[in-house]
Structure 1
Amino acid sequence: MDTLLDIQGLSAGYGPAPVLRDVDCAVRAGELWVVLGPNGTGKSTLLKSVLGAMPWTRGRIHLLARERGEWEARALARNVAWVPQGFEPAEGFSGLELVLMGRSPHLGLWGLTSASDEAVAREVLEELGVAYLAERSCEAMSGGERRMLLLARALVQQPKLLLLDEPTAFLDVAHQVGALERVRARVDAGLGAVAVLHDVNLAAAFATHVLLLRDGHVLARGPAPEVLQRERLEALYGVPMEMASAPSGARLFAPRTRWTAEGR
């Protein structure tokens, strides 16, 4: 499998004290890496460093076998798509217009979208179950609906590598599962993806590989079944954890509290 992202000895962060320290990770086509860790441990910093939005103080980043600094912005956008954690201003745009922004790296000199571009955008909206948002104004959407449009915008870029910073924030359970199902389906078809999540059970359900970050260091990395173990999650979050197996074979994790211990 092709290595899409290769991070070696990365240290990065704000000011003199790095948030990340000596992080190594390699993402290949057909892999969905989920990054887990406490707040403030450098998960978003990792993705921003890959994008070039965060300078790093030490280490190397290769994207599609080329040094990160060799990529011109437009060429990078044809290969790497980004779903940000926060919302960008989208007033005055319809859902379809917002999603079509993802076609920008592929447009010609005049930057005009074609019927083919619109067809791709509508197909992705249908795939994500939000085709009804195509004509709706972004001002009239919920946070969850706008989150789904940001994912749709990234998918219409037709990237080789997809970076997602908390893509399930603001989504109900059905849309969390639906969004990650579509990402995983594309990963199984050859896409590479890295997603920052806070839900360990979603990571267990969808990730092929997991990276655990604590205090800016890699606590563990590798195939999801090997990394997602009770002892490692207790070390990651500093709370006692319970692990159970569902009849389907899925592993489920939950914090152990006084109330769960008492059977309430």
Structure 2
Amino acid sequence: MEALLDTQGLLAGYGAAPVLQGVDLTVRAHELWAVLGPNGTGKSTLLRGVLGMLPWTRGTVRLLGRERARWDARELARRVAWVPQTFEPAEGFSGLELVLMGRSPHLGLWGLTSERDVALARAVLEELGVAYLADRPGEELSGGERRMLLLARGLVQEPALLLLDEPTAFLDVAHQVGALARVRARVDSGLGAVAVLHDVNLAAAFATHVLLLRDGRALAQGPVDTVLERERLEALYGLPMEMALAPSGARLFAPRAR
């Protein structure tokens, strides 16, 4: 199966000293990769480098079998969706209009949305359980509501690859679970996805694969059931961890009380 994303020896950062120190990552359809690691270790830098939002100094990035530099921005936006960590201005737009911005790469010369575009946007809002936000003015949206609309905007692009930077930030537990469950359902249907997360248990519950980043390097990567182990998490975060098995068989992780 052709890789949707392939990085080899990626060095990238914001100045003379790279944040990423030679990261290899291959993502295919039906895979949801969780990227875990301490703050400042390069998780967001990895996604931004892949998208060309910051230059990398060494290594290669291929998206859907083509080198990143050979992609036209509009063409790439039809195949790869980006759910950013930071919010953009929402004032003056309704929730539905914010989601419909995800259809921009697919629109014609005049940028007019069709009935299909509107129906698709409403269907995604319904899928995420936030259809009530369609008519909500942007200036009345909470941080969590904006986060759900950003995810809806990414899904409405109908991408082959979805890149998510902290998609569960600002969300309550129910919406964290709901958002990742819908992403995982799309992955099971053929989407490929990479999500920067901070919650190890959400990664264990929803990811198929995991990349552990520390000091800009891959500490470990692979199928979630083999990579997420107590000893590796202790090395990743530098603190003692506990692991327990739930009645369902799921593994649960927590920092050990000192």
Q: TM-score, normalised by structure 2?
A: 0.99
Per-residue Cα deviation, 1:46-84 (whole angstroms, up to 9, x for no partner) = 000011101000000000000000000000000000000
Which residue does 2:201 correspond to in 1?
A: 201
Measured in 2, the distance between the counterparts of 1:72 and 1:246 equals 47
Measured in 2, the distance between the counterparts of 1:63 and 1:242 equals 38
Measured in 1, the distance between the counterparts of 2:75 and 2:39 equals 32
Matched, 1:30 2:30: yes
Which residue does 1:230 correspond to in 2?
A: 230
Which residue does 1:180 correspond to in 2?
A: 180
Measured in 1, the distance between the counterparts of 2:86 and 2:123 equals 25
> Number of paired residues?
258
Measured in 2, the distance between the counterparts of 1:14 and 1:169 equals 23
Which residue does 2:251 correspond to in 1?
A: 251
Per-residue Cα deviation, 1:2-53 (whole angstroms, up to 9, x for no partner) = 3100000000001111100110010000000000000000000000001110
Matched, 1:134 2:111: no
Measured in 1, the distance between the counterparts of 2:77 and 2:207 equals 24
Per-residue Cα deviation, 1:156-199 (whole angstroms, up to 9, x for no partner) = 00000000000000000000000000000000000000000000
Measured in 1, the distance between the counterparts of 2:28 and 2:70 equals 20
Equivalent positions of 1:11-30 (< 5 A) are 11-30=11-30
Measured in 1, the distance between the counterparts of 2:77 and 2:124 equals 18
Which residue does 2:110 correspond to in 1?
A: 110
Amino acid at match of 1:178: G
Per-residue Cα deviation, 1:173-230 (whole angstroms, up to 9, x for no partner) = 0000000000000000000000000000000000000000000010000000111000
Amino acid at match of 2:110: W
Which residue does 1:47 correspond to in 2?
A: 47
Which residue does 1:262 correspond to in 2?
A: none
Amino acid at match of 2:70: E
Matched, 1:220 2:220: yes
Measured in 2, the distance between the counterparts of 1:105 and 1:157 equals 8
1:169 is paired with a residue whose SS is: coil
Which residue does 2:150 correspond to in 1?
A: 150
Per-residue Cα deviation, 1:137-161 (whole angstroms, up to 9, x for no partner) = 0110110001000000000000000
Which ranges in structure 2 are unaligned for 5 or more consecutive residues?
none
1:181 is paired with a residue whose SS is: helix
Report sequence identity in percent. Answer: 81
Which residue does 1:123 correspond to in 2?
A: 123
Which ranges in structure 1 are unaligned for 5 or more consecutive residues?
259-264
Runs of 4+ in 1 over 4 A off after TM superposition: none
Q: TM-score, normalised by structure 1?
A: 0.97
1:167 is paired with a residue whose SS is: coil
Root mean square deviation, CA, Å: 0.5
Which residue does 2:94 correspond to in 1?
A: 94
Measured in 1, the distance between the counterparts of 2:129 and 2:104 equals 23
Measured in 1, the distance between the counterparts of 2:9 and 2:16 equals 17
